[in-house]
Amino acid sequence: MATAGNNLSQYDPEALPKATNMRFACVVSEWNHDVTDALYLGAREALEACGAAKMDIRHISVPGAVELTYACKKLCESEEYDAIIAIGNVIQGETKHFDFVCNSVTQGVTELNLRFDTPVIFCVLTDNNKQQSLDRAGGKHGNKGIEAAVAALKWLAFARLYFAKKPITSNQLSEFNLILCIRFPIKRKSSLGWIFFLLPHHSKQQY
């Protein structure tokens, strides 16, 4: 969806999954810091509005957008965070440097999400000019940092429900029927693990 003409940053904290007792890391590029700082503040405020404690939101600075991937990788390896938000800003210049940087960070974040269980949320603005970035960092088109935080919370709720990364609540479990359990070998934590297959619960009227 194109951002122009839309403010996609409006949200209702009461309608979103809660961030209570969760830990988040925001990796923030120093390049175009006025934009990236605004994105970070938007993400932090949204997480706090949904229940995250200030001490559970870590800010990590890196020089530029290309360095985001490595920092996010080390944080994923630490397994200390429930979600990581990569925040950066790349603005089109006179050379192809813009294309190389955008491709690098986009592919890097994609690979991290394929490799690790910890979700890495892409919050890198890639704009034609500075004004477009400002418009999306608290300007007329909202704040993409807020949207990244909302995406992180929604992904964590999805992961907890379908992959049991954290315990599923009784209310969540009531929406599903447990139909099959399989024990299988895994590499970390213990020699054996469990896979739980869940099917949506349907009312009789749906059959």
- Could you give the residue numbers annotated as active site? 97
Domain that holds residue 191: 170-206
- Mark whether 56 and 130 lie in a shared domain: yes
How confident is the prediction for the chain on average, in pLDDT?
81
Look at residue 30 and tell me if it is in a domain: yes
| Number of folded domains that form the chain | 2
pLDDT at position 17 is: 85
Residues 19-57: tens digit of each pLDDT:
999 999 999 999 999 999 999 999 999 999 999 999 999
**Residue 9's CB: how many other CB atoms inside 10 A?**
19
On the question of pLDDT at 168 being above 50, the answer is: no
Has residue 27 been placed in a domain?
yes
3-state DSSP assignment of residue 85: strand
The number of beta carbons lying within 10 Å of the beta carbon of residue 34 is 11
pTM above 0.95, yes or no: no
111 shares its domain with 179: no
Residue among 60, 69, 76 nearest 26 (CA):
60
Average pLDDT estimate for 89-97: 91
Examine the domain organization and report whether 192 and 107 are in the same domain.
no
Do residues 66 and 33 make contact, with C-beta atoms less than 8 angstroms apart? no
The DSSP line for 176-193 is EEEEEEEEEE-SSSSSEE
More confident residue, 182 or 128: 128
Q: What mean pLDDT is predicted for residues 55-69?
A: 96
143 and 119 assigned to the same domain:
yes
Say yes or no to pLDDT of 146 above 90.
Answer: yes
